[in-house]
Structure 1
Amino acid sequence: MFAHGDRLTRRDLETISDERRRYELVDGTLLVSPSPRPLHQRVVARLLAALTPVCPADCEVLPAPVDVVLDEFTVMIPDVVIGRRETFTERALVGVPVLAVEVVSPSSRHIDRFLKPARLALAGCPYYWVIEPNEPALSCFRLVDGEYVLDGEATGDDVVRLEVPYRLELRPADLVSTY
């Protein structure tokens, strides 16, 4: 489909019609992920239920797949994204999100723990969270002087209490629970 070694753009990404996988770009490099599993989607659904009531009126919280266009060569799809309403277009969130959340899968561990936060920090995304569903664990990071610092974390039945970006209490075990 694309020549080996080419730096891909947002326009190239839009030509891919395969909906069985998730396609993202980081600095022109194509990342391909399999469709998420039920545990992954359960965490996303529980997190949406927790974030939606505290999301301010000038922002919107959405689940993947929503393209986050940081520049012509970087288009990411966080598992959950909060953005200012004016940054959403009909096709994507264009610009820096307020919060990006990744639910780690075995195939995405390095990308979610290192590649995506590095690129989002460079873009100026103020908050980045990582959820490990198999532990379960939640790590909440805040951007300080261009780097993410741990703002709160919890595992299992412990509770993480946050004041920013929203006042919220989360228990990782509740995010994976089947009730």
Structure 2
Amino acid sequence: MLEPTTQTAAQQYVFRPLAEEKSELFTNKDVERFATDEFCRYELIGGEIIVSTAPRYIHQLLSMRIAIQFSKYLEKNPLGEILATPGLILSEYDGVIPDLIFITHERRDEILNEKDGKFHGAPELVIEILSPGRVNARRDLQIKRELYEMYNVLEYWAVKPQQKEIEVFEIGKEAKVCAENELLKTSLLPKFKLKIKQLFAN
């Protein structure tokens, strides 16, 4: 049985076990059964299924622009890959689909499951683009941040379209905010500089 909790403003639905079934958390196998709409994103966090609708235009535009900057760098420095909406299986009760990830070739070979085509483990870098609404902000800035830290994602970038900035969470360090007029650098990619102003240009 499912108990749907609708968050219209946040454009997502959360499915939880009914009160008498709280001990029976959903698993990634359950997600496969519920994932019937190809235009929705089905994620599992702590045994709860979160269904999100298709992202807005600005969301997709920012994702593409970030991927382009990474791709240009990786053409000259083939350290790994930038991938959009990959499946990450982090545990039996945690499976997410981030907007973008960077993963080195070595890490890819370690955690890529050839049978289902998903990564069974965490990449070095995860990038999420925030959607409007307090529910989405809490999910990306708190719940997912804690999830990625727990599974040893080295860096997590939360892109904020409304503020035109990126908040960077590096494992073991204080969070930092990179504003529109700054360049975002990362120790994962030597000499890489993400031009934030270009991301938010009209």
Query: TM-score higher than 0.5 here?
Result: yes
Residue identity (%): 24
Aligned length: 172
Counterpart selection for 1:103 from 129, 134, 148: 129
Q: Which residue of 1 aligns with 2:148?
A: 120
What is the identity, as a one-letter code, of the residue corresponding to 2:177? E
Query: After TM superposition, what 4+ stretches of structure 1 lie above 6 angstroms from structure 2?
Result: none
Matching residue within 189, 195, 199 for 1:171: 195
Give the drift of 1:105: 0.6
Equivalent pair of 2:184/2:196 in contact (CA under 8 Å): no
Structure 1's unaligned 5+ residue stretches are none
Greater relative CO (CA pairs within 8 A, separation 6+):
1
Q: What is residue 81 of structure 2 aligned with on the other side? A: 60
Question: By percentage of residues, which structure has more strand?
Answer: 1
Conserved 8 A contact 2:161-2:200 = yes
Further displaced range: 87-96 or 10-19: 87-96
Residue aligning to 1:13: 31
Do the aligned partners of 1:25 and 1:75 also contact (CA within 8 Å) in 2?
Answer: yes
Computed over aligned residues only, the root mean square deviation of the Cα atoms, in angstroms, reads: 1.9
60, 63, 75: which one pairs with 1:41?
A: 60
Structure 1 or 2, whichever has the larger Rg, is: 2
Report the CA distance between 1:177 and its aligned residue.
Answer: 2.4
Instruction: Please say if residues 184 and 195 of structure 2, whose CA atoms lie closer than 8 Å, have aligned partners that are also in contact.
Output: no
Higher helix share: 2
Say whether the 8 Å CA contact 2:182–2:197 is kept in structure 1.
Answer: no
Contact 2:43 / 2:51 at 8 angstroms: preserved in 1? yes
Partners of 2:193 and 2:102 in 1: how far apart? Answer: 17
Structure-2-length-normalised TM-score = 0.77
Looking at structure 2, the residues matched to 139 and 160 of structure 1 have their Cα atoms a distance apart, in angstroms, of 12
Q: Which runs of 5+ in 2 are unaligned?
A: 3-16
- Are 1:74 and 2:97 matched, yes or no? no
SS class of match (1:18):
coil
Residue type of the alignment partner of 1:169 = K
Equivalent residue for 2:160, pick from 129, 132, 137 = 132
| Local SS of the residue matching 1:17 | coil
